[in-house]
Structure 1
């Protein structure tokens, strides 16, 4: 029987510091090819030519302001901040857990401090521009994208390995 897995627990880390009990939501970067339309002679219509990958951006929200994150705002290096999100998904059919680890490098480009209201929870949001993304499921690297090192690994296949070999 197939059933969707349910996110049962998660934690966020920045440079190893745990934000246990604070992270409310995590939105993974959208993964998309950068493409251009091309219609050359002999083609019946336009085709999309892949020219690389589009920029990656992660969003995460917390129930309180986190000074450790604020202190990294304005980081000058494009890969100066390291984040990790540990997620535990429970298979509803078997009860087994999947260990999903998302590792990012980049810099915080936006902090939305939200509003302050008596008796209400804080909704403190951070947007991080990413130069690096790695997704492992139960210890297996499923995706790894490193813009600076030109790595594009999908299911164990490095799609840019030959490109790196030719241009080094």
Structure 2
């Protein structure tokens, strides 16, 4: 029998600045692809063709305690990769004691900033949704996924998924 790796602690960095003790939660971006069913003659059922990343894009949702003016200053950023966020997670498997380091780096810009409820003497939190043009997942120092939508790069487990397409397009 084995136990799963559980998140023991986390941190979020915004353009290099740490939110240690301030970041309350991070909803990691789901990896999602756009698929289209195809069924031709001689096929007894549809097979989905992979058309790249989902139209929903890549989004990181996160919450901060208190008030943070840096996020407000970044709102309305012109460039699609203007804001650099880095999530670090310390995971541990309780049956073996083994530790796993998970890091997710994204670049994008803030789509929504929810100011939350303000009430004197009560906890406050701000909810931010950052839409991302870049995503990199590293586990124990090994890059498993790197996606740069603006530069037509998609590397999964060391395989450059778009190398042939870039070659065919002359880029």
Common fold, TM-score beyond 0.5?
yes
Deviation at 1:38, TM superposition (A): 2.1
Structure 1 counterpart SS, 2:151:
coil
Output aligned runs, 1:151-162, within 5 Å: 151-162=153-164
Deviation at 1:107, TM superposition (A): 0.5
Which residue is equivalent to 1:82? 84
Output aligned runs, 1:106-125, within 5 Å: 106-125=108-127
With structure 2 as the length reference, what TM-score do the two structures score?
0.92
Which residue is equivalent to 2:102? 100
Structure 1 counterpart SS, 2:74:
coil
**Is 1:128 equivalent to 2:126 in the alignment?**
no
Deviations 1:39-95 (A, max 9, x none): 223322332111111111110011122111111011111111110011111121222
Structure 1 residue ranges without an equivalent (≥5)? none
Structure 2 residue ranges without an equivalent (≥5)? none
**Is 1:49 equivalent to 2:56 in the alignment?**
no
Which residue is equivalent to 1:14? 14
With structure 1 as the length reference, what TM-score do the two structures score?
0.94
What is the RMSD computed on CA atoms of the aligned residues? 1.3
Distance 1:36 1:25 in 2: 34
